[in-house]
Amino acid sequence: MKWRALLLCGVAGLAGGCSSIGYFVQAAHGQLSLMSEARPIDEWLASPDTEVKLKGKLERVKEIRAFAARELGLPDNGTFTTYADVKRPFVMWNVVATPELSLKPMQWCFPVAGCVKYRGYYSRDDARAYAEELRAQNYDVEISGVPAYSTLGWFSDPVLSTFIGYPDGELARLVFHELAHQVVYVPGDSSFNESFAVAVEQAGVERWLEKHGDDKTRKAYAAYESRKRDFVALLMKHRDALKALYASDLSDDHKRREKAAIFKTLKEEYEVIKQERWNGYAGYDRWFAEPLSNAHLSAIATYNDLVPGFRAMLARQKDLGRFYEAVRTMASLGKDERHRQLAAYAEPPSMASGDLQAAGSQ
């Protein structure tokens, strides 16, 4: 049916686009396969064949899902009410690419999603094949596994085997993040969309842990957050070094040599942090599975740069409902004005991390 084809084209845009027939076919097939594999969580819970551990995690998802709607004002619909075992480590793989001497990612523009900074594939082999095409054109490329994504309410996104095993705090974080995309989404502004979802997830987890977390869960999530802050700070440090390098008047050959040295230092410093601060925790090792490139660092800003502005907005609004309305109003503005206002929110010294944490715990 025509409406279904248009709908799938929209999902293809969310997953990375439908700029060619072949790409559209794999995106549509991937989404339809996901839908066909999903069964209501209550069916999984009622089945004697479902493992006890999985039943426990699905029960926890139901609790988190109810909390999201009741306490956070997130959409109360069919999202995360079904479960699918996709029998692969990730639901899809994103390809990100940048020029050799630039941190500015390529963009692909599609219906519904607008312009996005990645192209997604349900098959790792397909992602690798496309990555090789880009590398042959001298682009820096990263392939990253994706445990979950949002169809913005077009479909009832299922809970997936790719993330059901996460510790409870991280599971709640992911649920809140993906549901936040259904609250506000601006086509063509990935930084705005992702930073908003990160701000919601942070405030949501703070509240959820306060009401439902035990000491073990809180400690595990605090360790996760600490490692994440360390890792993001490391990447931002070297991203800034590369940004300054590429803006300099050095020759391209000199820039290439310095670029290689910066990535070498990044990897060395990561190993030091892993051993000296994380007691050998290796959860970020897969980020280094491929040779480091600009593409690895280009997405850092998308998920981080605007978060302080959103957290400051929430601290000022205090109520999540009012916060959502303020963000919706901001979303109607032009991109430059949206970003300018968020930067202004983040500037006042009164919006220190302690104030934000307190506001998130209201």
Q: Is residue 27 pLDDT above 90, yes or no?
A: no
In whole angstroms, give the CA distance from residue 32 to residue 331: 31
141 forms bridges with which residues in the sheet? Answer: 97
Residue-level pLDDT at 7: 42
CA-atom Rg of the chain in angstroms: 21
Q: Which of the 8 DSSP states describes residue 287?
A: G
In whole angstroms, give the CA distance from residue 164 to residue 170: 10
In whole angstroms, give the CA distance from residue 224 to residue 229: 9
Which of 103, 162, 117 has its CA nearest to residue 14? 117
Q: What percent of the chain has pLDDT over 70?
A: 90
What sign does the CA torsion over 333, 335, 340, 342 have? Answer: positive
- Which phi and psi angles does 333 have, rounded to 5°? -80, 170
Q: Is residue 47 pLDDT above 90, yes or no?
A: yes
In whole angstroms, give the CA distance from residue 106 to residue 97: 6
Average pLDDT over residues 183-201: 95
Q: Is residue 330 pLDDT above 70, yes or no?
A: yes
- The pLDDT-based confidence of 348 (bands split at 50, 70, 90) is low
Average pLDDT over residues 266-273: 97
What sign does the CA torsion over 306, 310, 313, 315 have? Answer: negative
Residue-level pLDDT at 132: 96
Contacts (Cβ under 8 Å, ≥6 apart) of 333: 341
Residue-level pLDDT at 112: 61
Q: Is residue 17 pLDDT above 50, yes or no?
A: no
Q: Residue 143 in 3-state DSSP?
A: strand
Q: Which pairs count as long-range contacts for 29-36, CB under 8 Å and 24+ apart, including other chains? A: 29/122, 30/92, 30/121, 30/122, 30/123, 31/151, 31/155, 32/8, 33/122, 34/84, 34/86, 34/91, 34/158, 35/155, 35/158
Q: Is residue 303 pLDDT above 50, yes or no?
A: yes
What are the boundaries of each domain within the chain?
1-37+92-146, 216-303
In whole angstroms, give the CA distance from residue 265 to residue 157: 40
Contact 178, 64 (CB under 8 A): no
Q: Which two tokens stand for residue 79?
A: 């999202």
Residue-level pLDDT at 24: 73
Q: Residue 214 in 3-state DSSP?
A: coil
Residue-level pLDDT at 122: 95
Which of 5, 16, 12 has its CA nearest to residue 27? 12
In whole angstroms, give the CA distance from residue 349 to residue 138: 44
Q: Is residue 356 pLDDT above 60, yes or no?
A: no
Q: Which of the 8 DSSP states describes residue 15?
A: H
Average pLDDT over residues 247-257: 98
- The pLDDT-based confidence of 148 (bands split at 50, 70, 90) is very high
In whole angstroms, give the CA distance from residue 243 to residue 308: 21
Residue-level pLDDT at 41: 98
- The pLDDT-based confidence of 296 (bands split at 50, 70, 90) is very high
Contact 151, 113 (CB under 8 A): no
Residue-level pLDDT at 299: 82
> Average per-residue pLDDT in the chain?
90
Q: Which two tokens stand for residue 202?
A: 């942070």
Encode burial over 89-125: b for 16+ CB neighbours within 10 A, e otherwise.
Answer: ebbbbbbbbbbeeebebbebebbbbbebbbbbbbeee
Contact 113, 14 (CB under 8 A): yes
Residue-level pLDDT at 289: 86
Between residues 18 and 112, which one has the greater pLDDT?
112
In whole angstroms, give the CA distance from residue 275 to residue 270: 9
Tens of pLDDT, residue by residue over 88-146, are: 999 999 999 999 999 999 988 776 667 788 999 999 999 999 999 999 999 999 999 99
Q: Is residue 362 pLDDT above 90, yes or no?
A: no
In whole angstroms, give the CA distance from residue 61 to residue 179: 13
Average pLDDT over residues 271-299: 94
